[in-house]
Amino acid sequence: MASLPAVLHIFGKLDVGGAERRTLDLARTLSGAYVFHFLSLSSERGSLCDEIEEAGGIVHLCPAGPSLPWTVWRVLAAVRPVAIDSHVHYASGLFLLFAALARIKTRVAHFRSTSDGQPRSLARHVQRQIMRGLVSAFSTHIVGVSEGVLDSAWPRWRSDSRCQVLYNGVQIGRSRASSGALTLREELGLGPHTLLIVTVGSLNPAKNQLKCVEIAHQLQTGGADAAIVLVGRSVGTYGERVRELARHVANVHWVGERSDIAEIMKTADVLLLPSVREGLPGVVLEACAVGLPVVASDLPGVREIARYFPTVRIVATEADAETWSRAISVWRTGGIRRDVSAFEISPFTMAKCATQFAQIMEGR
pLDDT digits (tens, 9 = 90+) for 185-231: 889 999 888 999 999 999 999 999 999 999 999 999 999 999 999 99
pLDDT above 70: percentage of residues in the chain: 95
How far apart, in whole angstroms, are the C-alpha atoms of residue 191 and residue 211? 24
Nearest to 23 by CA among 141, 117, 145: 145
φ/ψ (deg, to 5) at 16: -75, 95
Angle, CA 287 vertex, CA 286 and CA 292 arms, to 5°:
155
Q: Where are the domains of the chain?
A: 6-169+349-361, 184-344
Q: How confident is the model at residue 357 (pLDDT cuts 50, 70, 90)?
A: very high
Question: For residue range 99-109, what is the model confidence (pLDDT) as tens digits?
Answer: 999 999 999 99
CATH architecture of 6-169+349-361: 3-Layer(aba) Sandwich (3.40)
pLDDT score of 309: 93
Sign of the Cα pseudo-torsion (46, 254, 210, 111, in order): positive
For residues 116-127, average pLDDT: 85
Instruction: Return mean pLDDT, the chain.
Output: 91
Nearest to 90 by CA among 129, 124, 126, 132: 132
Which amino acid belongs to residue 186? Answer: E
294 pLDDT more than 80: yes
2 pLDDT more than 60: no
89 pLDDT more than 60: yes
Angle, CA 148 vertex, CA 145 and CA 153 arms, to 5°:
80
pLDDT score of 120: 84
How far apart, in whole angstroms, are the C-alpha atoms of residue 213 and residue 272? 11
pLDDT score of 177: 42
CATH architecture of 184-344: 3-Layer(aba) Sandwich (3.40)
How far apart, in whole angstroms, are the C-alpha atoms of residue 160 and residue 141? 10
How far apart, in whole angstroms, are the C-alpha atoms of residue 44 and residue 231? 23
Question: For residue range 253-280, what is the model confidence (pLDDT) as tens digits?
Answer: 999 988 888 889 888 999 999 999 898 9
Q: What is the pTM of this model?
A: 0.84
pLDDT score of 129: 95
Strand order in the sheet with 270-273: 252-256, 226-231, 195-200, 270-273, 294-297, 312-315
